[in-house]
């Protein structure tokens, strides 16, 4: 396999999680009687450009299907994050009714609805029919396509270059990151701004967030590598922000390479920190497997201990990261009888591979488990707040990453 950015040979494994189905491939009752598709889940690192990437096996249209079950609006914290971003960018870029905002991977309209409310023209690009339909109900125009250079050029030809292109948690999800980035350049108006948010590889390594590894994530990104990818496409990163979302993300600000934007000191400071933490050193990546195994082993030991003691355990959040963790640990319904999730689209279905049933959160007060394992640890505070009554009744909350903690 060649590196998806620089085409160097990939010889070094960062993480091997065995075989698993796609993490958002939730199952119906009928599906349980059919074979599941499993793919190797192995992550490589390029020792030339330091792009961390999944091994080639799956295609994007197999992962992001018409009934894709991830709806961004399910998380109240994420909605607040999106509204704050929209207000900030409107003010910072002086966006008006004469501007155009494009969001790539607009999902269910969680972000663009803020621009619609402000009277700022916008366009969503979203290939999954289930989420695109939800956005259209909010009055958001949506192109139901995958984004890349061809579509970027079509938008430019039709007079739809954007003052702002937003991409939240999509950059890691594209199989051809070079083509996608060239598409951003084509669709960006002269003087326009690109913002991309993605989980930061540095934080993944620091906090052993191996459960954020799944087939839908083709890339795991550092600022160092993103700068290289942008430069190759004729773009430039001129500012960054660190965000707490998803366990530690970067928001990068990009523009055409020739624009006059001064590069802020934050860019150089982050590049220096990445280098100091060894993100361009092979040894950093070769140590990671043992750290992931320890997290997996600790969770499994905890679940077995509770089963033997006759204590009841449930989980909250049928998230992709939960599927990675449970499947790598080999957890089945005998150790974890059910998972609750607020997303109606997931309720009544089953987790891929583990076949753990997904129920509505209302059953938690009926079942009153002794322990509730919060699988999406990035919203643990929100989940604890929503389930405060459970805590009053004696339920203890558990998170497994970066280490097993019981509260």
Query: Which residues are 168's β-sheet partners?
Result: 197
Q: Do 270 and 191 sit in the same domain of this protein?
A: yes
Q: Do 159 and 267 sit in the same domain of this protein?
A: yes
Q: Do 269 and 298 sit in the same domain of this protein?
A: no
The Cα angle at residue 41 between residues 359 and 201, in degrees rounded to 5: 90
* pLDDT tens, per residue, the chain with 407 residues: 999 999 999 999 999 999 999 888 999 999 999 999 999 999 999 999 999 999 876 554 555 554 555 677 777 888 999 999 999 999 999 999 999 999 999 999 999 999 999 999 999 999 989 899 999 999 999 999 999 999 999 999 999 999 999 999 999 999 999 999 999 999 999 999 999 999 999 999 999 999 999 988 999 999 999 999 999 999 999 999 999 988 899 999 999 999 999 999 999 999 999 999 999 999 999 999 999 999 999 999 999 999 999 999 999 999 999 999 999 999 999 999 999 999 898 999 999 999 999 999 999 999 999 999 999 998 999 999 999 999 999 999 999 999 999 99
d(CA 392, CA 389): 5
Q: Do 268 and 341 sit in the same domain of this protein?
A: no
Q: Do 294 and 261 sit in the same domain of this protein?
A: no
Please give the tally of structural domains in the chain: 2
**How far is C-alpha 207 from the geometric centre of its chain's CA atoms?**
16
Q: Which of 213, 275, 206, 265 is nearest to 241 (CA)?
A: 265
Which CATH number is 247's domain given? Answer: 3.40.50.150
d(CA 23, CA 30): 18
Q: Do 308 and 262 sit in the same domain of this protein?
A: no
Q: Do 249 and 330 sit in the same domain of this protein?
A: no
Paired tokens of 380: 């643990």
Look at residues 225, 254, 285 and tell me which one is the last residue of a structural domain: 285
Q: Please report whether residue 198 resides in a domain.
A: yes
Q: Please report whether residue 280 resides in a domain.
A: yes
Q: Do 389 and 306 sit in the same domain of this protein?
A: yes
Domain span including residue 191: 146-285
Q: Give the single-character DSSP code of 200.
A: B
d(CA 280, CA 325): 27
d(CA 151, CA 153): 5
Q: Please report whether residue 266 resides in a domain.
A: yes
Q: Please report whether residue 219 resides in a domain.
A: yes
d(CA 322, CA 62): 20
d(CA 394, CA 381): 17
Q: Do 215 and 269 sit in the same domain of this protein?
A: yes
Look at residues 269, 285, 301 and tell me which one is the last residue of a structural domain: 285
Q: Do 163 and 272 sit in the same domain of this protein?
A: yes
d(CA 385, CA 200): 26
Look at residues 260, 285, 310 and tell me which one is the last residue of a structural domain: 285
**How far is C-alpha 128 from the geometric centre of its chain's CA atoms?**
15
Q: Do 182 and 280 sit in the same domain of this protein?
A: yes
Q: Do 334 and 227 sit in the same domain of this protein?
A: no
Q: Residue 294 burial (CB < 10 Å; 0-12/13-18/19+)?
A: middle
């Amino acid at each position: 396999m060649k590196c998806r950015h620089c085409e160097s040979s990939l010889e070094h494994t960062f993480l091997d999680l065995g075989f698993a189905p796609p993490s958002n491939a939730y199952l119906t009752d009928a599906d349980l009687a059919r074979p599941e598709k499993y793919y190797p889940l192995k992550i490589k690192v390029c020792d030339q450009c330091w792009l961390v990437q999944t091994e080639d096996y799956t295609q994007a249209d197999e992962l992001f299907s018409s009934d894709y079950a991830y709806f961004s609006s399910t998380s109240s914290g994420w909605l607040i994050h999106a509204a704050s971003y929209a207000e900030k960018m409107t003010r910072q870029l002086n966006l008006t009714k004469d501007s155009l905002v494009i969001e790539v991977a607009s999902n269910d309209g969680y972000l663009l609805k803020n621009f619609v409310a402000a009277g700022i023209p916008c366009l969503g690009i979203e290939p999954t029919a289930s989420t695109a339909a939800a956005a259209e109900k909010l009055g958001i125009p949506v192109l139901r396509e995958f984004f890349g250079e061809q579509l970027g050029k079509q938008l430019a030809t039709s007079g739809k270059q954007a003052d702002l292109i937003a991409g939240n948690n999509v950059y890691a999800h594209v199989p051809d990151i070079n083509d996608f980035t060239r598409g951003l350049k084509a669709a960006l108006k002269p003087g326009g701004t690109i913002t991309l948010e993605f989980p930061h590889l540095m934080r993944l390594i620091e906090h052993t967030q191996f459960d954020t590894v799944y087939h839908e994530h083709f890339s795991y990104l550092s600022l160092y590598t993103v700068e290289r990818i942008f430069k190759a496409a004729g773009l430039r990163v001129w500012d960054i922000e660190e965000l707490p979302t998803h366990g530690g993300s970067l928001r990068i600000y990009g523009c055409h390479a020739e624009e006059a934007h001064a590069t802020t000191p934050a860019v150089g400071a982050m590049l220096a920190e990445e280098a100091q933490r060894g993100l361009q050193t092979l040894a950093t990546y070769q140590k990671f497997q043992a750290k992931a195994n320890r997290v997996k082993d600790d969770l499994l030991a905890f679940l077995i201990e509770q089963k033997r003691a006759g204590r009841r355990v449930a989980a909250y959040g049928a998230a992709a990261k939960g599927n990675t963790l449970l499947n790598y640990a080999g957890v089945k319904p005998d150790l974890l009888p059910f998972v609750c999730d607020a997303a109606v689209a997931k309720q009544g279905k089953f987790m891929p591979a583990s076949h753990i049933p997904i129920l509505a959160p209302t059953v938690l007060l009926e079942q009153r488990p002794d322990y509730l394992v919060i699988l999406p640890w990035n919203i643990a505070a929100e989940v604890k707040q929503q389930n405060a009554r459970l805590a009053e009744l004696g339920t203890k909350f558990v998170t497994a990453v970066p280490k097993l903690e019981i509260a």
